[in-house]
């Protein structure tokens, strides 16, 4: 696990992760990685395994890599690029959001999912019609 922000669990104990400061990019390994960014613009790549990526705001770019990956996105995270979403395999965990304000807007071979208030996911290489077949990949939490 790697986190770019200092953190503690609910009981006040230091989390069992590597906490890194002043880092803009993280490359995960072959295992199932949990990689969390900070409020800055981060580039996070999970690598192999079933990874969980959380940019935590700041104009991030996330790549899950091989495996069934989970992208965490929260209201207020702003503009985030997802470089390798695979429909039916990867999932989006959406916190504090209830629906798409503008459902899908295609831009060439890419799709923008607009939640309003500046919160947008930019999905590289995904057409709107491809994404509509995988609506169950969007988990509203």
> What are 45-74's pLDDT values in tens digits?
999 999 999 999 889 999 999 999 999 999
Nearest to 52 by CA among 20, 90, 16: 90
Are 36 and 18 in contact, with CB atoms under 8 Å apart?
no
- Nearest-angstrom CA–CA distance, 48 and 108: 28
Decide if pLDDT at 14 tops 60: no
Domains and CATH numbers, the chain: 2-140 (2.150.10.10)
Per residue in 74-87, pLDDT (tens digit) is 999 999 999 999 99
For β-strands 79-82 and 102-107, DSSP reports them as unpaired
User: Sorting pLDDT into bands at 50, 70 and 90, what band is 10?
Assistant: very low
- Nearest-angstrom CA–CA distance, 126 and 111: 6
């Amino acid at each position: 696990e790697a986190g770019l922000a200092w953190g503690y669990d609910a009981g006040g104990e230091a989390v069992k992760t590597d906490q890194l400061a002043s880092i803009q990019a993280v490359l995960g390994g072959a295992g199932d990685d949990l990689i969390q960014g900070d409020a800055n613009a981060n580039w996070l790549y999970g690598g192999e395994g079933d990874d969980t990526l959380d940019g935590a705001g700041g104009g991030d770019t996330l790549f899950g890599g091989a495996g069934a990956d989970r992208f965490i996105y929260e209201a207020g995270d702003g503009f985030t690029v997802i470089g390798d979403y695979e429909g039916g395999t990867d999932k989006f965990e959406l916190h504090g959001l209830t629906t798409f304000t503008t459902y899908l807007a295609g831009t060439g071979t890419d799709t923008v999912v607009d939640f309003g208030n500046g919160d947008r996911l930019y999905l590289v290489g995904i057409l709107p019609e491809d994404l509509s077949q995988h609506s169950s990949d969007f988990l509203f939490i």
